[in-house]
Amino acid sequence: MTCDFAALTNLDPADPDAAQRLLEQCTATLTDPTLWIWAIVFTVVCAAVGALIGKYKNAVARDALLGAALGPIGWAISLLLPARKPLAKCIACGKPVDAGDKHCRHCGATLSPSPAAVRGRG
């Protein structure tokens, strides 16, 4: 007896032992380590492809998580999402900061605003 819909529809209602055997078979299928190893491998591969997409979108962690959680749907979302802001370098410590940040997240130095961030007032 295999765990599928055919076995369920052909189940004899007068034989409770058959239902019990089907339930045990389905439980064994769901707790099979091979199934879980494949699920983990699939998740890791999806995360790696997501990270590869994220490398070009400047958002490796975001796109790796999307790939791991949603698989190919996450890849599509990653491809459709806009790229993150390009990185700039702090003038004080030289570490990477997001373009448009007001302060360096590493040393706290005040960064000069980019021309796009200036609103024309003041």
Positions touching Zn ion (CB under 5 A) are: 90, 92-93, 104, 106-107, 109
Instruction: Find, among 87, 81, 89, the residue nearest to 57 by Cα.
Output: 81
Q: How far is the CB of 94 from Zn ion (least distance, A)?
A: 7
Q: Which is nearer to Zn ion, 19 or 92 (CB)?
A: 92
Instruction: Find, among 87, 26, 81, the residue nearest to 50 by Cα.
Output: 81
Q: Which is nearer to Zn ion, 66 or 104 (CB)?
A: 104
How far is the first Cα of the chain from the last one, in angstroms, to the nearest whole number?
78
> Tokens standing for 99?
């373009």
Q: Which is nearer to Zn ion, 16 or 96 (CB)?
A: 96
Instruction: Tell me the torsion sign for CA atoms 89, 90, 94, 98.
Output: negative
Q: How far is the CB of 117 from Zn ion (least distance, A)?
A: 18
Q: How far is the CB of 99 from Zn ion (least distance, A)?
A: 14
